[in-house]
Amino acid sequence: MQRTAIVTGGTRGIGQAISLALHAAGHRVVAVYHSNTDAARAFSDANGIAVFQWDVSDFEACRHGIGKVAETLGPIDILVNNAGITDDAMLHRMSPEQWWKVINTNLGSMFNMSHHVIHGMRERGFGRIINISSINGEKGQLGQANYSAAKAGILGFTKALALESARKNVTVNAIAPGYCDTAMVAEVPPEVLKSIVEDIPVGRLGTPADVGRMVAFLADDAAGFITGATFNVNGGQYME
């Protein structure tokens, strides 16, 4: 069945692949971005996917943006909370600004976005919320106390909301990607990246499409018995 989906950070990297996977599955897709308008326009023009601009760390901006999407495309059935940033530093050098920016964008956005779609999903008796965490939220990472805390927080948020929503046919799941070939990973110094790839059992970085396929699966109407779960898409780099 065709559904309406919002993908935050859906114009670049992993989010772009998620938008494309949901589009290919036949859904109406809106991709949200923050500041890179050129990339968003190019993506929209090339793929016929609508793009909207707002800051997912801003509760009111999310309310306003989701309202505009609903006016244009109808109520939101699928929400993919993918937008995320890093701002790395060892904790003893990390500023409060670095801490809160990463917490608010990666974890605050879960509340800001989900709050505004959950009422409608509950009323209509259908919803899919898919939250993008990270391997580094599961195992921790040097220089990423802010990011690891936010990504671990997403896993608790996912389980709590899954419990609250289960009887309403709204599923809530998390995906924890390993290192994928995106701009975020391009910032990792080459010698560090080499040792990361050596540590991945399948012997390569993930691709954004690896994650996109998992999202399309979880978003499907047929995935209604899967909720509160975390799916590792990490080439075997971390197993729990």
Smaller CB distance to ligand NDP: residue 82 or 227? 82
Active site residue 179: no
Check binding of 163 to ligand NDP (CB under 6 A). no
Under DSSP, the state recorded for 10 is T
| Of 33, 147, 179, 238, catalytic | 147
Under DSSP, the state recorded for 93 is G
| Contact string (CB under 6 A) for ligand NDP, positions 61-100, x = contact | ---------------------xxxx---------------
- Tell me, by CB under 6 A, how many residues bind ligand NDP: 30
Check binding of 132 to ligand NDP (CB under 6 A). yes
Strand 127-132 to 170-177 pairing:
parallel
Residue type, 174: A
In total, the chain counts a number of residues equal to 240
Smaller CB distance to ligand NDP: residue 90 or 183? 183
d(CA 129, CA 82): 11
> What residues contact residue 201 under an 8 Å CB cut-off, 6+ apart?
235, 236, 237
Exposed/middle/buried for residue 123 (C-beta within 10 Å: 0-12, 13-18, 19+): exposed
Check binding of 182 to ligand NDP (CB under 6 A). yes
- Judged by the rule CB under 6 A, the positions of this chain that interact with ligand NDP are 8-9, 11-15, 32-36, 39, 55-57, 82-85, 105, 132, 134, 177, 179-180, 182-185
The residues carrying an active-site annotation are: 147
